[in-house]
Chain A
Amino acid sequence: MLKELFPNVVIEDLLVATGETFYMTLLAMVGTVIFGVLLGLLLYLTSNGGLWENKGLNILVATIVNIFRAIPFIILILLLIPFTTFLMGTFRGSNAALPALIIGAAPFYARLVEIGLREVDKGVIEAAQSMGAKAKTIIFKVLLPESMPALVSGATVTAIALIGSTAVAGVIGAGGLGDFAYYHGFVRRDFDVVFVCTVLIIIIVFIFQFLGDLITKKLDKR
């Protein structure tokens, strides 16, 4: 039955491609969260009235974030080929896609982190200051824990955008479902392959959204 409906789908290849999509998304997420939180904190702390208020640095970081957010991912990945080659030794394969994925997603996530941090009650920060807390304590014991649900739901949105980007990364032969759908499906006119890849990507997106919502709900004690 399945063989008749999808005559050109090879399960083993499909599983490999799905694995690659997960691999790229998860690894890129790790990098995105690290750089995104750092940049988001920097944006928040250096802003007007922030703990490290610094107009110059704020404008600098905001500009960098805005530039990288403005570049369409397909162009970014091509622009970064020299950098990727220098960093990873090659610009093909799943690992080679990571720098571009992270550089594309981190600024986006940084903005979501900044928004999440802004939601933290100013009064609570003030209370911590009145107890004599250091900036480090305020960051790690007040700002990050109090904004955690926003950080996680922001990460969910970012991860789903990243799944889309991994598919685009197929153009540099990154592997994954996007690559598979294009080279094994579209190019050979085997549209059943394209269809199955699409369904799989949708399922992956649903899984991420479900998990993200679940964790956000668990964390939110408000």
Chain B
Amino acid sequence: MITIEGLTKKFRLNHKQVTAVDDLNLTIQDGEIFGVIGYSGAGKSTLIRLINRLEEPTSGKITIGDQEITALNKNKLRIARQNIGMIFQHFNLLWSRTVSENIAFPLEIAGVPIEEREQRVNELIELVGLSGRENAYPSQLSGGQKQRVGIARALANNPKVLLCDEATSALDPETTNSILDLLVDINERLGLTIILITHEMHVIRKICNRVAVMENGNIVEQGDVIDVFLKPKQPVTKKFVEQVMGNQDGDLDQLIEDYPSGELVRLHFVGETTNQALISKISREYKIEVNILQGKITQTKLGAYGTLVVQIIGEQNEVNNTIQFIKEKTSVEVEVLANA
């Protein structure tokens, strides 16, 4: 478990004091993928760099497992860092070293004997899918391959925690997905805790269990990804959810005007796979017609999430029964927008 208590970081910038992280508290469970999202300047980058003390905190306490990171002296911190992997937006590989040599670097630092090092490097190359590229230099690799080297390097000393600092922000969407898949795979296979920061809600949606939204150096909202998606409370969170889902309520008034007959209903799908055939089911069992007007369903790590706006046409009784059925027999939430 990682606990952060009262963490504060103040910078002096051009004679002005800037508080990048402001009295922040956070708990991250072992083995989870925890996302921190925020716009640039929100302090998320500083936060992740404070966790392994690449930035020294102004005040506050960070504990990883039973080790209080903020209490370690320089030497002990160095040893502790060997158990905290980190990957970067711009990969930060040594261009003068080959793929193998880059991955071997943290092992050299940890003083692993050479035969063991070679064996471990081969395992890691296999793990991140870079077989055949061992002797290539970083300049000969694509962005995605470079990040794979970064991941292999970060995992070399079997860390318990992996910090990802905007790890996919420099990659194209397709490569981003493959790197995210790799991170999930690693998380499941090795059981390590992953903390990632990003400004892309897409990344959070795809791999995170829990998410914290940062603004002005503080966490303004946090929870299970599905809950945050479903009921974003803060304006900033709503904006991030819109990134993935589109604007939910944009042209609702227009819809109500355009479809005056029947009943206009919004269905919330909340992280379940059992109700995905709902539309065909209700149209079969009740004497109604269902007209899908707008909506979006997306898959998160915990199942489907999204909303559909539908028009239900039929006799009032049947329509009421249908809504009753959805409300009582399924986990889909119903919201009546307008009835004729």
Contacts and interface: CB of A to CB of B under 8 A. Distances in A.
B109 A133 contact: yes
A221 B96 contact: yes
Contact of A132 (B92, B110, B163): B110
A146 B95 contact: yes
A127 B110 contact: no
Interface residues of B: mostly helix, strand, loop or mixed? mixed
Most interface-central of B90, B96, B108 (chain A CB within 10 A): B96
B137 interface: yes
Nearest to B75: A134
Contacts of B307: none
A126 B48 CA distance: 13
A130 B77 CA distance: 10
B96 A127 contact: no
Interface in A7-55: none
Interface string A117-136: 00001011011111111100
Given A131-B82, A141-B108, A221-B137, A126 B92 contact: yes
Contacts of B96: 145-146, 148, 219, 221
Contact of A146 (B78, B94, B153, B157): B94
Of B77, B80, B97, B109, most A-chain CB atoms within 10 Å: B109
B13 to A, nearest CB: 14
Interface string A92-127: 000000000000000000000000000001011011
Contact of B81 (A124, A131, A141): A131
A137 interface: yes
A142 interface: yes
Interface residues of A, number: 21
A146 B106 CA distance: 16
Nearest to B110: A132
B86 interface: yes
Contacts of A137: 108-109
Interface string B118-161: 00000000000000000001110000000000000100010000
Interface of B: 52, 54, 77-82, 84, 86, 88, 90, 92-97, 105-106, 108-110, 137-139, 153, 157, 163
29 contacts: A123-B88, A123-B90, A123-B92, A124-B92, A124-B93, A124-B94, A127-B86, A127-B88, A127-B92, A128-B105, A130-B52, A130-B84, A130-B86, A131-B82, A131-B86, A131-B157, A132-B80, A132-B81, A132-B110, A133-B78, A134-B78, A141-B105, A142-B94, A145-B94, A145-B97, A146-B94, A146-B95, A221-B139, A222-B139
